Structure 1
Amino acid sequence: MGSREFPGLPQSVREARRFVANLCATVGYPLEPVDLLISEVATNALIHGGGGFAVRCFRMKDRFRVEVDDRSYRIPYLRHPGADEVHGRGVRLLDKLAEWGAVLRKGGKTVYFEPREGPWGA
């Protein structure tokens, strides 16, 4: 459906959100929670993934899938941050709102998600 590479700059997260929002609009897919999830995954790619990242979106029969590639080999995991911690909640949101995972590939990893609810009954 669409793919784009983003440089390792803070504004790239906003640009990735806009890119995914435009693709959602093109196929009539609801922006929420995709907007929140791409923001979390792109931010993690920027901070922990070694700089730039790539985003790919797919519309499958009954699903909308987003994949984010970065240059890190560290797989994200579900944390249980304390009430006073300001970080560590992004993967919890991902886990609550989407089917997700991460796979290692040559040059880094891919984190993917598919929102749990969608217009095609996903």
Structure 2
Amino acid sequence: MFKKTTPDKDYVPNKISLGARLANLALAVLLILLGSYGILNEELYLPLGRRAEVTLYGVATYVAMLAFSLGAFYFLLEIVDHYDKRNNEHIYRRLRMIFRGFACMVFVSAIIVNLKYVYQT
């Protein structure tokens, strides 16, 4: 599924625009700041859509910070891929999928931990 598709002799490194790199950096920093804010206050309000929202309390904020850190690594990998000129985009694609999947699973775990915390008291 994620195999080298271009021989090394024909390979042209991918280029990511400066705007896309800056947007990825801003999103990574925003995720870390949001998670830090939640840890400092031990409460984190997250609107998930038009009619969905969740407020995380206590230990769930630490789990959410882990998910946000994985998400930040996801965005930073694209920046690193831009500066890496070797023929290994397949590795970066695989890593991005892994980080995205783990971040989603950990975030769902944060919501489950939060439900246990809310209904326990």
TM range (shorter): 0.3 to 0.5
The answer to which structure, 1 or 2, has the higher relative contact order (CA under 8 A, 6+ apart) is 2
What's the TM-score once normalised by structure 2's chain length? 0.35
Which of the two has higher C-alpha Rg?
2
Greater helix share, 1 or 2?
A: 2
What's the TM-score once normalised by structure 1's chain length? 0.35
Greater strand share, 1 or 2?
A: 1
